[in-house]
Amino acid sequence: MTNQLTTIKKLLPFLKPCRGLFVLALMAATVSSLLTLYIPRLTGEAVDCIIGPGNVNFHGALMIIVKIAVCACLAGFFQWIMSILNNKMTFEIVRDMRNAAFKNIERLPLKYLDSNPSGDLMSRVIADADQFADGLLMGFTQFFTGVVTILGTLFFMLMIDWRIGLLVVVLTPLSFFVAKFIATHTYEYAKLQAGIRGEETGFVNEMIAGQKVVKAFGREEAVLRDFDEINERMEKASLKATFYSSLTNPSTRFVNNTVYALVAIAGAFAAIGKLMTVGELTSFLSYASQYTRPFNEISGVITELQGAIACAERLVDLIEEEPEIPDPVDAEELNMPEGRVRMDSVCFSYTPDRELIRDFSLSVDPGMRIAIVGPTGCGKTTLINLLMRFYDVNSGSISVDGKDIRKVTRRSLRDSYGMVLQDTWLRSGSIRDNLTIGNPEATDEEIIEAAKTCHSHSFIRRLPKGYDTYIGEDGGGLSAGQKQLLCITRVMLSSPDMLILDEATSSIDTRTEIRIQKAFHSMMAGRTSFIVAHRLSTIRESDLILCMRDGNIVESGTHKELLAEKGFYYQLYMSQFSGKAI
């Protein structure tokens, strides 16, 4: 219960903008319910117009029937208004929550995104938000009318006969006890169900993305077994959640029918004793029936809200996840840097128990081409992450043109770099849209010139609509090499002040790679460039080669100097060329 109250408090800021709609919906619900409740009173009066055999006040009955028709029409109209307002409120709230969640995802540190499955994040923003919307809509629609109906019927019953009305009030808590027991258990399993749903979404997303690898290694059966295990846990949690939620209706109906039976017996004796008329008894029984019905609905609403709050809790947790450390208030803009990069005694680790980079120092002058080589896991890509400030150093400092990168804005720092990664990323859209991400104002002539320089123009031209060809998620329909050429063209078009190339030509054939290297040499002229490469033939002309191992620089120098030393670099190089130096 404490968790639920905490979640509800966190939801209040999203409800505040809809206060006006809330008040209007409440007024519409009140008017609609009161008009509906007035109809049984009129019905009782109509019954009392039947005085005896052959003695009926038809004129009075007709007038009452007209009133009933007017009340029914007005009640329906206000019910319609309430539904419109409730829908608008619900989807505005969920829209704002989804926007807040997605906005926070954009601000989250890469550490969080690297450690949480993307499928689970998708499930929170899409599926959990939908579940919350369903529960919220039911709550707004039925809770308002239910509360007003309970209070209204109680008022009318006490007016007709306060003694029988008090009997109803005394028996009412039974429904609340039953509803509370069911709601508590429903929340527990609804929360578990939402968590497993996120896990299942993440697994499906992962397996679809890696389907080629799954098939290549014949892991279909193993994947199915893993999915079955998750699905079985989902089944058990769903069945228990459904079991407790399905108890709501029969349990509350049993209690409410018991109340109705007692009221009917007491009312019948009152009518026989002439303590009320037959018409009043008719009205009272109608009110007793209407009084118990909202408890069924509210119990169902509470049960549904348990699941909704459980889903909202996961969504709120994402919204409140700590974003990356914001830029300092006095952070400077890094405008057109010369490219002087310094790393002083840098230490970094992804996890506290395993240090990756220790006491790393480096000095790079403007315009230098720095190649970084070493075995897998030695810290090459980590070094790039630190330069781009995707991660912050644990100790030490990194500076550009004498400015500590923690004291400049992230946007200006990252705008200063052009980065091509081994893992390509293209968004759904046209080829042109993807190429101009870094330079939205680029003209067609500039786009074509960059594409020709990067040797992507020839295959783009052969596409159905050339530069306006639509490509799907992550460049669907293009080869790995074509996607990498587009990423290289994108960086070429943005004309950055500094470059980072992390295995930028790993998916390109050797012949095209030679041409691309020439384009890179042209682009790197006068720009500080960091090149991560496994193919050592591509970095021979670098101004400085850093050999990394276990997070440290073990050797540094030019290609010829390092070969002459016959150390670690010499071993790497010779292993790639079968013992023949070039």
Q: Which structure tokens are listed for 66?
A: 């007209």
Rounded Cα distance between 125 and 100, Å, is 10
pLDDT for 581 equals 45
What are the residues whose beta carbons fall under 8 Å from the beta carbon of 176, sequence distance 6 or more?
A: none
Rounded Cα distance between 71 and 95, Å, is 36
Rounded Cα distance between 246 and 238, Å, is 12
Beta strands in 71-217 (DSSP E): none
Q: Which structure tokens are listed for 490?
A: 């994108």
Would you place residue 537 in the very low, low, confident or very high pLDDT band (cuts 50, 70, 90)?
low
The values of phi and psi at residue 112, to 5°, are -70, -45
Average pLDDT, the chain: 80
Q: To which residue do tokens 């109680």 refer? A: 154
Would you place residue 52 in the very low, low, confident or very high pLDDT band (cuts 50, 70, 90)?
low
- Can you give the three-state secondary structure of 319-383, one letter per residue? HCCCCCCCCCCCCECCCCCCCCEEEEEEEECCECCECCEEEEEEEECCCCEEEEECCCCCCHHHH
SS3 496: coil
What are the residues whose beta carbons fall under 8 Å from the beta carbon of 480, sequence distance 6 or more?
A: 424, 507
Question: How much is the average pLDDT of 193-204?
Answer: 81
Chain mean position to CA 69: 48
Q: Which structure tokens are listed for 393?
A: 């150093």
pLDDT reading at 578 higher than 60: no
pLDDT for 399 equals 92
The values of phi and psi at residue 167, to 5°, are -60, -45
pLDDT tens for each residue of 374-431: 877 777 888 888 888 888 888 889 999 889 998 888 888 888 888 887 777 788 888 8
Q: Which structure tokens are listed for 70?
A: 């007017």
Output the DSSP codes for 560-575: HHHHHHTSHHHHHHHH
pLDDT tens for each residue of 496-534: 888 888 877 766 677 767 767 777 777 777 888 888 877
Q: Count other C-beta atoms under 10 Å from residue 23's C-beta.
A: 11
Rounded Cα distance between 98 and 127, Å, is 11
Specify whether the CB–CB gap between 356 and 383 falls below 8 A. Answer: no
Distance linking the first and last C-alpha atoms of the chain: 72
Least confident of 160-174, 467-481, 489-503: 160-174
Beta strands in 374-460 (DSSP E): 395-400, 403-404, 417-420, 429-430
pLDDT higher for 160 or 559?
559
Would you place residue 582 in the very low, low, confident or very high pLDDT band (cuts 50, 70, 90)?
very low
Specify whether the CB–CB gap between 287 and 264 falls below 8 A. Answer: no
pLDDT for 110 equals 78
Q: Are strands 357-364 and 544-549 parallel, antiparallel or unpaired?
A: unpaired
Domains with residue ranges and CATH for the chain: 7-14+96-319 (1.20.1560.10), 341-576 (3.40.50.300)
Question: How much is the average pLDDT of 175-197?
Answer: 73
In percent, how much of the chain has pLDDT > 90?
2
pLDDT higher for 174 or 35?
35
Rounded Cα distance between 328 and 578, Å, is 52
SS3 55: strand
Specify whether the CB–CB gap between 122 and 318 falls below 8 A. Answer: no
Least confident of 10-24, 161-175, 217-231, 538-552: 161-175
pLDDT tens for each residue of 430-480: 889 888 888 888 888 999 988 888 888 888 888 888 899 888 776 777 877
pLDDT for 74 equals 93
SS3 421: coil
Specify whether the CB–CB gap between 528 and 339 falls below 8 A. Answer: yes
Question: How much is the average pLDDT of 570-581?
Answer: 69
Rounded Cα distance between 141 and 135, Å, is 10
Specify whether the CB–CB gap between 80 and 320 falls below 8 A. Answer: no
pLDDT reading at 580 higher than 70: no
Q: Count other C-beta atoms under 10 Å from residue 153's C-beta.
A: 26
